[in-house]
Structure 1
Amino acid sequence: MSFAFAICLAVLFGVAALGTPIGYSMLVASIAYLAASGADLSLAAEQLIQNIYTGYILLAVPLFIVAANIMNAGAISDRLLEFCIALVGRFRGGMGYVNIAVSLIFAGMSGSAVADAAGPGKMIIGMMTKGGRYSRGFAAGITAASATIGPIVPPSIPMVMYALISDQSIGYLFLAGVVPGLLMALVLAVMNYVLAKRGELVREEPVPLRELPRLTLRAIPVLFMPVILLGGIYGGATTPTEAAAIAALYALVLAMVFYRQLSLHGLGQVFSESARQAATVGIVIGSALIFNYIVAAERIPDALAGFLAGINLGPVGFMVLVNILLLLLGTLLDGGTIILVVLPLFIPAARALGIDLIHFGVVAVVNTMIGLVTPPYGMLIFVINAVTGIAIKDIIRGVLPFLAALLMALVVLAAFPDLILFLPRLLGYQG
């Protein structure tokens, strides 16, 4: 490690310790590296512009953000919630199952854990805690845990980020996320069942079966969005970026024309909020691209791959080591930062060890999403605290059992690659 890179790391951790957002911290650290190494400072801007300009795939990120915000503002998620209550709300602890089902279906539209937690998640927490039927901690905990499904089931913003750094197919990555997302929903439902039996949670008033066709009909336009997205991508009609644009347009038509619950003023607010969120993500992505250039220039991935080869660490040991490291980093860092900055260090070693990069990427993304509900950082913990006012200590207490369930799912996915690669191989993946 050169002196300039040591300065870079010192500045990065020092500026981040002051509370500076990680995107700005990486940007300042990168400029410090260029100054210390005697390089032209304009190199930072050059790398940023070149990578963003050639990163057509990155356009999918703001488009998925717009689609999610339109669905929340246009009350589209309300109809989805009514459908899920009618479907699974009749069982003991039924609102817990509703929570998981909404996250699973909403995941096929937004690709964002934060959008899930702040939108339909906030509504479900209000319904669960009304009249003291469920404790505030339990409602917040299961909402935070189920929101982690969003970035796994396609479309997925973190999968787009991983495709950018690994040069893997977004289509195959999206397909590979389906089974893991279903598995995560299953283990959360099992934990909800265990807690419902142990705590004798309330049984919801069942919606009459004769109402189910009407509620299903109301929800069909919403449920049709994942079909449009995935059908367009895997049918070869659209690229993932074009599919994201179609998703945003479809959500807009539903909210403003079909349901008529989003005004022009509301649309302006949606665009303003989406621009702010997209800019926040863009700063992290842009600064990470500059930082990755520095890491590559220092040949750190090659050195790491050589070190792992020197200690004769096999594929199993490598996966265990990387997952433990990512879980530890997830307690402190944002998932996007881990994907864009940390994972590129391990991709050459994974390739050298013969580990399938689709499997490696999906496991890593699942790991980083678990980090969203892992104390003390846990972004979703803070998001739910901000939108509901529930105390952080109560949220943490409520999320811990579901965190344990998600960790079990992570172990299964890391140990059995065929679970992840099954669907991609059905559609021609040769890995």
Structure 2
Amino acid sequence: MSVELLLCVGSLFLLAGIGVPVAYAILIASMVYVGAAGQGIGIVGKNLLDGIYQSFLLLAVPLFIVAANIMNAGTITDRLLSFCVATVGRFKGGMGHVNVMASLIFSGMSGSAVADAAGIGKIIIDMMRKDGRYPAGYAAAITAASATIGPIIPPSIPMVLYALVSNASIGYLFLGGIIPGLFMGGVLMGMNTWMSHRRGFAVEEPVPLRDLPRKTANAFPALLMPAILLYGIYGGVTTPTEAAAVAAFYALILAGLFYRALSVRALYTIFVESARSSAAVGLVIGGALILNYIVASENIPSILAGSLVAIDISPLVFLLAVNLLLLVLGCFLDATTIILVIIPLFLPTCRELGIDLVHFGVVAVVNCMIGLITPPYGILLFVINAVTGISLREIIAEVWPFLAVLVVALLAMILFPGIVLFLPRLLGYEG
């Protein structure tokens, strides 16, 4: 490791350790490297701008953010919740099931775990806490756990970022996330059922079956969003970026004209908040692109790949080791940083060992999402604490069972690649 790289890494950890935002820490550390190496400081700006402006795929990120924020507005969320209550609310632990099912549905519209937790999650937590039916910590914990499904079922902002660094097909990554997302929902519902029987949680009053067709019809236009996205991509009608634009436009038409739940003032607020969120993500992406330039300059991926291949490590052992590392890093780093900075280090080794990049990408994204609820720094725990006022101690005390079953689900995806690759192969993927 060169002196310049040591200075870069040292600066990065020092700045992050004293609370400097990750994006700024990466940018400053990159400038330290460039300065120490005697290169012009302008190379930092050049790599940042080239990386952002030359990637058409990155346009999908702000478009999906806009779509998510629009879908969070107005009566769309209320209609989806009514549909979920009517279908699964009648079972033991019904509101917990409603929580998970709402995340499954909303994941097909937002692509963002934070959008899920801060939007529809807050509403469900209030419903679960009404009349003391569920402890506040439990309601918050299952909300955080179910929000991790958001970026697994398409659309998915983290998968767009993974496609950017790996050149894997975004379409097949989206397809590969469908069954794992449903699987995660299933294990969370299973744990909720077990906990509800063990702790004697109340059963909701069932919605009459005669009301189900009406509630389904109310929610049906919103439920079409994932189908429109997938048809656009796999029917050859749109590229993934164009599909993101279609999603944003469809959400706007649905909320503004069909449901009449969106005012001009609300739309302005949505655009401002979306611009801020997109800028924050863009800064991290820009910093990661510069850091990746430094990593490539030091030839680290090739050295790492050569070393691991030389010791004859098996693909399965490599996958298990990388995922264990990502779980640990997820306790301290956000998902965007892991996907853009850490995961590219392992891609050359994946290619050398014959590991499918779609399988690796979906598993890595699932792993990063689990990191969002892993103490001490799981960002979803902080988001829910901020929007509900429920203490972190209560949330963390209740989140462990859901964290455990999600880790088991992740292990199953690693050991049985067919969970991820079944749908992509069904639709022509040859990996």
Measure how far apart 1:418 and its partner are. Answer: 1.3
**Alignment-mate amino acid for residue 136 of structure 1:** A
Q: What corresponds to 1:39 in structure 2? A: 39
Say yes or no: does 1:174 pair with 2:174: yes
Deviation at 1:259, TM superposition (A): 1.2
CA distance in 1, matches of 2:256, 2:358: 38
User: 1:139-158 alignment to 2 at 5 Å?
Assistant: 139-158=139-158
Q: Which is worse superposed, 278-287 or 311-320?
A: 311-320
Given the two structures, how large is their TM-score scaled by the length of structure 2?
A: 0.99
Structure 1, residues 64-119: CA drift from partner, whole Å, max 9, x if none? 00011011122311110110000000111100100010000100111000000011
Distance in 2 separating the partners of 1:75 and 1:15:
43
- 1:262 to partner: Cα distance: 1.1
Measured against aligned partners, the alpha-carbon deviations of 1:158-208 in whole angstroms (never above 9, x if no partner) come to: 000000000011000000001110110011011011101101110001111
1:424 maps to what in 2? 424
Residue aligning to 1:404: 404
Please state how far the C-alpha of 1:391 moved relative to its aligned partner: 0.2
Aligned to 1:6: 6
CA deviations on 1:224-273 (whole Å, 9 max, x unpaired) are 11111111111110111111111111111111111111110011100011
Taking the aligned partners of 1:120 and 1:286, their CA distance within structure 2 comes to 30
Counterpart Cα distance in 2 of 1:168 and 1:128: 40
CA RMSD of aligned residues (A): 0.7
Residue 310 of structure 1, CA deviation: 2.6
Partner of 1:287: 287
How do 1:247-266 and structure 2 match up within 5 A? 247-266=247-266
Query: Which residue of structure 2 aligns with residue 226 of structure 1?
Result: 226
Deviation per CA, 1:299-337: give whole Å up to 9, x if none. 011111122123221111101110110000000000110
Q: Which residue of 2 aligns with 1:191?
A: 191
Paired residues in the alignment total: 431
User: Which structure 2 residues correspond to residues 13-412 of structure 1 after superposition, within 5 A?
Assistant: 13-412=13-412
Identity across matched positions, percent: 62
2 CA distance for matches of 1:167 and 1:284? Answer: 19
Paired amino acid for 1:196: S
Structure 2 SS opposite 1:245: helix
State the distance in 1 between where 2:221 and 2:152 align: 22
State the Cα distance separating 1:293 from its structure 2 match: 0.5
SS of aligned partner of 1:233: helix
Amino acid at match of 1:351: R
In 1, distance between residues paired with 2:254 and 2:274? 18
Q: Provide the C-alpha distance between the structure 2 equivalents of 1:274 and 1:286, rounded to a whole number of angstroms.
A: 18
Q: Distance in 1 between matches of 2:258 and 2:421?
A: 38
- In 2: Cα distance, 1:72 partner to 1:419 partner: 30
Kindly state the Cα deviation for residue 381 of structure 1 after the two structures are TM-superposed.
Answer: 0.3
Q: Distance between the aligned counterparts of 1:213 and 1:73, measured in 2?
A: 24
Q: For residue 133 of structure 1, what is the amino acid of its counterpart? A: R
Aligned-partner SS, 1:271:
helix
The 2-side partners of 1:109 and 1:73 are apart by: 13
Aligned equivalents of 1:3, 1:126: Cα separation in 2: 54
State the one-letter code of the partner of 1:324: L
Q: Secondary structure, in 3 states, of the residue corresponding to 1:119?
A: helix
> Bigger CA drift: 307-316 or 61-70?
307-316
* Distance in 1, Cα, partners of 2:411 & 2:175: 20
Rounded Cα–Cα distance in structure 2 between residues aligned with 1:198 and 1:301 = 49
> What TM-score, normalized by structure 1, do the two folds share?
0.99
Given residue 396 of structure 2, which amino acid in structure 1 is its aligned partner? I
What amino acid sits opposite 1:288 in the alignment? A
Question: CA shift at 1:397, angstroms?
Answer: 1.2
Superposed CA deviations along residues 385-412 of structure 1, whole A, max 9, x for unmatched, are: 0100000011111211100010000000
Distance across 2 between alignment mates of 1:14 and 1:75 = 46
The residue identity in structure 2 corresponding to 1:204 is E
